[in-house]
Amino acid sequence: MVLEGDRAFDLIWGTVSGALALALAIPILWWWLPKHRRSVFGRAIDPTYRLQLGYGLFSMAMFGTNFFCRFIPHGYLEYVHPTFAAITAVLLVGLGPRVVYMAMRRRPEPAIALEFRENHA
């Protein structure tokens, strides 16, 4: 039984990997917005949040590629699907744990809010 290249596997893996890439892209891009700003990579590494925006857009592109590309047979391009599967796996393994950790962690209050509360209590 061959999995990679099988039509059913292509459709299932495309749907699952696309959904995982979208689940990674949404919080990264949400935290990039000024109102909801949180640094995925740390302020020392990414002070302007450009790296975060880039990875968020890349994850969104991988969503589209994995989800929609799997529905198109690529018989003459036999390395397309395995390559995108590997890129998605590296992206999810590399950034997935950090995004899950940040989503589960309570966001610290800004220092201004703490100072205001202490001075006006």
Q: Is 53 exposed, middle or buried (0-12, 13-18, 19+ CB in 10 A)?
A: middle
Any domain includes 67: yes
What total number of domains does the chain contain? 1
Any domain includes 113: yes
Give residue 119's pLDDT band: very low, low, confident or very high (50, 70, 90): low
Question: 39-61 pLDDT, tens per residue?
Answer: 999 889 999 999 999 999 999 99
Any domain includes 93: yes
Q: Which domain holds residue 22?
A: 7-119
Any domain includes 49: yes
Any domain includes 103: yes
Question: 64-98 pLDDT, tens per residue?
Answer: 988 887 777 666 777 777 788 889 899 999 999 99
Any domain includes 107: yes
Cα–Cα distance, 21 to 66 (Å, whole number)? 8
Any domain includes 2: no
Any domain includes 72: yes
